[in-house]
């Protein structure tokens, strides 16, 4: 169809297409801060009209999924989530084992120093009371630190359960969106808003557990995490967390109609992976070091103390309750009931004949501070410093890793956002561009109208 009628048709198409493009620009500007929003583009194409000038059609409203950048972002988010969670956990642990004052190191020094004072005056009531107070402080310091570490593991288990609850909710929603997206797109309706919402959820799962996604031809996304597919089509497999017989965190994934699978060893990414490593690898290492120190100090002090006699003339007493073994030695460290709260039971003298002022056993006890403790090299102070140093190194490495990962995730985020985010500058240019085109189409309409008017007058 040609002539004035065709001209009117072209003007109409132009007005409608530019209007749609202006709508899209407005939508982009309105959603510039909407989480997960990917910029839309009105895709225009000329419409061929046999025998006359062609019009224009809005073919589709394209949404840039930034597929490659999004996969990279999800991967980096998983690694960053793990590094960040571990760094936070280790910073907490470091502050527990190395307070500014009154920590195990300070109390060990104070204990041995009090023994030096007692060695020079075995009969001093004040010196005896001080030694007993310092020994009580030292035992409490070990026990409190061990209890704090145990409590931190419990806290991390709670955090893991909370993360898993959020992940399960997200997985269920992703599966639901999968079904809605496939249904909408099969009927030819764009599902851009549904995809935006699904991407936000995938990102949250990536932060929590790491996520790798594959999108099928029907728009449905398969989400892999913890070494298995957690969302496939419109079904999801929830995770759960419990403890194995050793007290370590166990992550299970539900199997429809079957027993859940243990995927713990695959949980290495995301906050869950970082928490698991901090809880079941890092803290046990710190606890093992603490237990060994407590065991060695208690054992070595007891072996010397039990060789001496208290002011009541009785010997063979331990100062610290004898640990049953290395494991749990810190948590159970306390003053032996035979000594209790009675400073006169402290064995400062070697024999009854040396009473009451003898201090040779107290001197030998004080010398433990400068002799090798247990089988490992180093005196007590050096062993404690090495233990604290190992915690510090772990915390420092974890922090460096978190900083590095936050940089890489920021780069990935920037690349992702660069591809699909809204640029107001760009939208302002588009606004002008589409506005001008709209105005021009209107002019064509006016021109056609005038021509038609003139023609009608002539008739």
Partner 1 sequence: MRVTEKNRFSEATMQRTRAAAQLQKKAQVAASGNRVNLPSDDAYGFSVGKAATDRIEILTARTGAAQNAQSDLELGESTLASATDLLQKAKELAVQGRNGTMDAAARASLGSQVDSIRSSLLALANTRGASGYLFGGTATQTPPFSATGAFVGNDTAVDVALSDNVTVRGNGSGAQAFTAAGGTDIFADLANLAAALGTNNVAGIDAGIAKLDAGHAQVVGARVTAGLAAERLGTGIDVMAEARASLTARRAQAVEADPVTAYSDLAEANAAYERALAVTKQILSVNSSGNG
In the complex, the residues that contact partner 1 under the rule CB under 8 A are 32-33, 91, 94-95, 98, 100, 105, 108-110, 112-114, 116-117, 119-124, 349, 353-360, 363, 366-367, 369-371, 381-382, 384-386, 388-393, 395-396, 399, 410, 413-415, 417-419, 421-426, 428
**Are 174 and 236 a contacting pair, CB within 8 Å?**
yes
Quick one: 161 or 367, whose CB is closer to partner 1?
367
As a whole number of Å, the CA-based R_g of the chain is: 37
User: ω into residue 356 within 30 of 0, thus cis?
Assistant: yes
Helix (H, G, I), strand (E, B) or coil at 114: helix
Quick one: 336 or 413, whose CB is closer to partner 1?
413
Quick one: 7 or 363, whose CB is closer to partner 1?
363
Quick one: 60 or 113, whose CB is closer to partner 1?
113
Quick one: 228 or 396, whose CB is closer to partner 1?
396
Quick one: 87 or 157, whose CB is closer to partner 1?
87
Give least dist CB 248 to partner 1, A.
25
Distances (CA, A) of 229 to 149, 176, 198, 259: 34, 15, 16, 16
Give least dist CB 119 to partner 1, A.
7
Residue length, the chain? 459
The DSSP result for 146-162, as a single string, is: HHHHHHHHHHHHHHHHH
CA separation for the pair 268, 165 (Å, rounded) = 18
Apex CA 393: angle with CA 74 and CA 326, to 5°?
110
Give least dist CB 117 to partner 1, A.
6
Give least dist CB 397 to partner 1, A.
9
CA separation for the pair 33, 21 (Å, rounded) = 20
For the chain, the first-to-last Cα distance in angstroms comes to 22
Give least dist CB 366 to partner 1, A.
7
Quick one: 70 or 105, whose CB is closer to partner 1?
105
Give least dist CB 218 to partner 1, A.
30
Residues facing 58 on adjacent strands: 44
Helix (H, G, I), strand (E, B) or coil at 144: helix
Give least dist CB 121 to partner 1, A.
4
């Amino acid at each position: 169809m040609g002539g004035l009628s065709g001209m009117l048709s072209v003007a109409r198409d132009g007005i409608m297409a530019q209007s749609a493009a202006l709508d899209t620009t407005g939508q982009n500007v309105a959603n510039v801060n909407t989480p997960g929003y990917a910029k839309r583009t009105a895709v225009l194409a000329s419409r061929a009209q046999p025998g006359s000038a062609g019009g224009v059609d809005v073919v589709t409203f394209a949404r840039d999924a930034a597929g490659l950048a999004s996969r990279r972002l999800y991967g980096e988010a998983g690694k960053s989530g793990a590094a960040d969670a571990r760094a936070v956990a280790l910073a907490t642990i470091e502050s527990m084992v190395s307070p500014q004052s009154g920590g195990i190191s300070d109390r060990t020094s104070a204990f041995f120093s009090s023994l030096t004072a007692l060695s020079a005056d075995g009969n001093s009531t004040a010196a005896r009371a001080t030694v007993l107070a310092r020994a009580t402080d030292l035992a409490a310091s070990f026990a409190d630190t061990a209890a704090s570490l145990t409590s931190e593991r419990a806290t991390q288990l709670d955090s893991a359960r909370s993360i898993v609850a959020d992940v399960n909710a997200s997985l269920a929603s992703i599966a639901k969106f999968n079904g809605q997206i496939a249904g909408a797109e099969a009927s030819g309706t764009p599902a851009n808003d549904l995809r935006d919402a699904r991407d936000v959820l995938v990102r949250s799962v990536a932060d929590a557990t790491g996520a790798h996604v594959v999108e099928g031809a029907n728009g449905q996304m398969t989400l892999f995490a913890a070494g298995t597919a957690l969302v496939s089509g419109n079904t999801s497999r929830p995770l759960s967390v419990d403890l194995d017989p050793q007290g370590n965190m166990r992550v299970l994934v539900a199997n429809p109609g079957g027993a859940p699978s243990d995927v713990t060893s695959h949980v290495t990414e995301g906050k869950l992976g970082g928490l698991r490593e901090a809880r079941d690898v890092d803290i046990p290492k710190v606890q093992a070091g603490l237990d060994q120190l407590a065991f060695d100090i208690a054992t070595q002090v007891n072996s010397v103390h039990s060789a001496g006699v208290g002011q009541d003339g009785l010997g063979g007493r331990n100062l610290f309750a004898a640990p049953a073994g290395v494991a749990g030695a810190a948590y159970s460290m306390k003053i032996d009931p035979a000594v209790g709260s009675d400073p006169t039971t402290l064995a400062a003298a070697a024999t009854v004949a040396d009473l009451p002022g003898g201090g040779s056993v107290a001197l030998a006890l004080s010398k433990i501070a400068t002799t090798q403790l247990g089988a490992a090299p180093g005196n007590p102070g050096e062993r404690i410093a090495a233990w604290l140093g190992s915690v510090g190194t772990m915390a420092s490495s974890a922090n460096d890793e978190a900083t590095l990962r936050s940089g890489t995730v920021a780069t990935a985020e920037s690349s992702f956002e660069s591809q699909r985010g809204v640029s107001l500058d760009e939208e302002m240019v588009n606004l002008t561009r589409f506005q001008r085109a709209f105005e021009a189409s209107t002019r064509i309409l006016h021109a056609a109208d005038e021509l038609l008017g003139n023609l009608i007058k002539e008739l």
